[in-house]
Structure 1
């Protein structure tokens, strides 16, 4: 029997994938559940409850998005799986979109319910190549090894994986990653030294909101983010100009350095502007935002940004991190006022040279670490706060820091950086005491 005495022998399914930020109403009535957490996906509930409904040693198998292994909103799900089940198999389809109608990377996983799971191996097969095809999927399903996939047998240790993200790599890589991690002697403070960029309710007017406002408005018109012409047309007074900050996008922020010249500005209003009385000293800004009142969805509406963040992160020396990177991570040193959106994270510390950290984060050693231990979407890096904090930073003596900073100074002023980057990579290989064979693993 599949069902007997209130528990299942097997649960198989394709649960609904819905993030809370895309449809909050779906989570109504669920937020009191012990399985609820912020930034989660609805299908996590289906997995947790599915596990609860299994008999001992019974099985659950879902096809689901493959980012739950590192997603910050999935730690309760991961802990449930580690504590109460054994992972038997994962088939990760990588960059191939199984569902033509959805831009979602997926995997199939098979679990069995047991608490006798302190340490074990499981079967992991995944597609590695970017731009995967249906042939890559068929090879995976038929257990055919190729240059585009990898077959692993990772070790799961309950003690090691509880309250952690999951990352799996081959044995040689694991030994090297452990060696790199053991050199760690510096940890960024997650509250005071790392922050996500600004979350604005609306930056520019999109097509949906333009249709609400009517024909007098145009798609692309600035709401909280305005261009130089729009800024000029607002005829802002001296007090109002204090709220207008230089705004930067991926067009201006490149790997290593950024173009300080910008044509965009953000109306930087914090939570105090939820109280409409506080906008009265800024009549031209008020008049501008009042035009968009009906489509502003900020928690601090009608005049405040949704999340303005601590302003210190946008001033002075800092490292700006692009959250989603193709090919290699992108860390950018800036020393001018630079306000950015939640497309970026910002690292700011006065405990060590920011230029030294920029060099370390842009090194091949860090890319290797993130590829194996970070948060990946197929072959793309996703640099959220959790993977940033877990990077094993080593701070050497001042003489070495000064040497690296001198190289970074040259990189910031040249477009030809390859030779200088090679020099930096060699220094970090030496600092982490890597052998030639270990360096080959990273270079590959």
Structure 2
């Protein structure tokens, strides 16, 4: 209904999505409504509603829930908090529309900035729309959402104890990239947009199943990266030549470094290597930094604490059977300050672990891994109750150690 000022009381809709505005239309719309992530059309419909509504008017849309965790929408989420009083029903566990390829959220926004909280439906254990509607409502401060801006879906799902622990793990820490500035995905060998023919791409022309010509490089698979170590498959090589579509600086494939497997099921897999090994984005590279030891970082990223933090904070960590860790997740991972003495102790434990793994002594490996986890819990100052959130079997493990 339009009131005398010419604006609407309410705007309701299911705007189009899956289309990126291009060409001259992009410039025209951006000048009118501002820039939005990926120039995706449904974001523009949110901005359009803001121009159509009167003060305290309501916008109610069903839209893809990707805006809740899109890496490139982090600033846009802050903008939403500044411009709207927000209530979100995130249908993250089921499809609203049969045959749809995306999950949706019902967004009810009031054109008002006089609220310091966002309201939402609690999504844990809500596997159907009926479950979700019956679930309780939650409220969370806008300041907390800004602090935990990488994935609102998880905020709507997790209980307060978990959210508080994630905040504690982050508080007062420096981002990993401040200690390790050189982080990269692997190379992309084939890409039609780089002018490669279909034949080159389909045949994987630069990959070989045997070492049949000079200067071939060992090719890693994602599964070759294990916890603490990297073991080449011995079955594939690559010709790292000028024909590669999107190469990387060779320094990312040589000398001491860490490799992190992109797929994080059931945990983060981070391995240490000093071998010349080439790979695609299935693995992420971390080169040596300054004051922080690579082997200390190796211990932290393979810890139970790191996996817990990842699954309760990262945008792609809840992606079905194939959860992923992103380059941005690694860059932003919180690292505590650590003394040289503690670095030395952790490095010694990691070296013992690597030596013990070679002897196939499972009991000894488990013992050292537990010692590393204990050390890292202390490094992040976790309390007994917080450790039990990360490792519910903590007491049983302590009893085993005593025995």
Size of the aligned set, in residue pairs, is 371
Q: Structure 1: 5+ residue runs without aligned partners?
A: 21-25, 146-150, 204-208, 274-302
Structure 1 CA distance for aligned equivalents of residues 131 and 258 of structure 2:
42
Change (3 A) 1:31 1:163: farther
Corresponding position: 1:223 with 2:205 = yes
- Assess if the C-alpha contact under 8 Å between 2:262 and 2:282 holds in 1: yes
Structure 1 CA distance for aligned equivalents of residues 54 and 185 of structure 2:
42
| Alpha-carbon distance, 1:197 to partner | 2.2
Provide, for residues 197-246 of structure 1, a one-character-per-residue CA deviation record: whole Å limited to 9, x for no partner: 2233349xxxxx86xx6xxx9x952234x1234x63xxx5x5xx3xx432
Structure 2 CA distance for aligned equivalents of residues 191 and 362 of structure 1:
17
- Please, which moves more after superposition, 345-354 or 320-329? 320-329
Change (3 A) 1:101 1:192: same
Aligned match of 1:182:
171
Q: Structure 2: 5+ residue runs without aligned partners?
A: 393-403
Corresponding position: 1:69 with 2:8 = no
Provide, for residues 23-78 of structure 1, a one-character-per-residue CA deviation record: whole Å limited to 9, x for no partner: xxx53335432644675644333333333333222222333333322322213431
Aligned match of 1:346:
285
Aligned match of 2:15:
15
Change (3 A) 1:73 1:398: same
Determine helix, strand or coil for the equivalent of 1:29: helix
- Assess if the C-alpha contact under 8 Å between 1:247 and 1:338 holds in 2: yes
Determine helix, strand or coil for the equivalent of 1:325: coil
- Assess if the C-alpha contact under 8 Å between 1:44 and 1:74 holds in 2: no
Corresponding position: 1:402 with 2:347 = no
Aligned match of 2:398:
none
Structure 2 CA distance for aligned equivalents of residues 362 and 51 of structure 1:
45
Aligned match of 2:94:
96
Change (3 A) 1:121 1:64: closer
Determine helix, strand or coil for the equivalent of 2:79: helix
- Assess if the C-alpha contact under 8 Å between 2:180 and 2:287 holds in 1: no
Corresponding position: 1:161 with 2:142 = no
Determine helix, strand or coil for the equivalent of 1:153: strand
Q: 2:24 aligns with which of 26, 29, 42?
A: 29
Aligned match of 1:255:
227
Change (3 A) 1:182 1:377: closer
Structure 2 CA distance for aligned equivalents of residues 5 and 223 of structure 1:
65
Structure 2 CA distance for aligned equivalents of residues 379 and 50 of structure 1:
31
Corresponding position: 1:358 with 2:355 = no
Change (3 A) 1:121 1:342: same
Question: What is the TM-score with the length of structure 2 in the denominator?
Answer: 0.78
Aligned match of 2:318:
378
Structure 1 CA distance for aligned equivalents of residues 169 and 134 of structure 2:
35
Change (3 A) 1:170 1:67: same
Determine helix, strand or coil for the equivalent of 2:173: coil
Aligned match of 1:312:
251
Change (3 A) 1:349 1:127: same
| Alpha-carbon distance, 1:106 to partner | 3.1
Determine helix, strand or coil for the equivalent of 2:123: strand
Structure 1 CA distance for aligned equivalents of residues 6 and 147 of structure 2:
29
Question: What is the TM-score with the length of structure 1 in the denominator?
Answer: 0.72
Report the structure, 1 or 2, having the larger helix content. 2
| Alpha-carbon distance, 1:183 to partner | 4.6
| Alpha-carbon distance, 1:81 to partner | 0.7
Structure 2 CA distance for aligned equivalents of residues 156 and 220 of structure 1:
49
Determine helix, strand or coil for the equivalent of 1:336: coil
Q: 1:266 aligns with which of 235, 238, 258?
A: 238
Determine helix, strand or coil for the equivalent of 2:373: helix
Query: What's the RMSD between the two structures over aligned residues?
Result: 3.4
Structure 1 CA distance for aligned equivalents of residues 148 and 47 of structure 2:
16
| Alpha-carbon distance, 1:10 to partner | 2.7
| Alpha-carbon distance, 1:84 to partner | 1.0
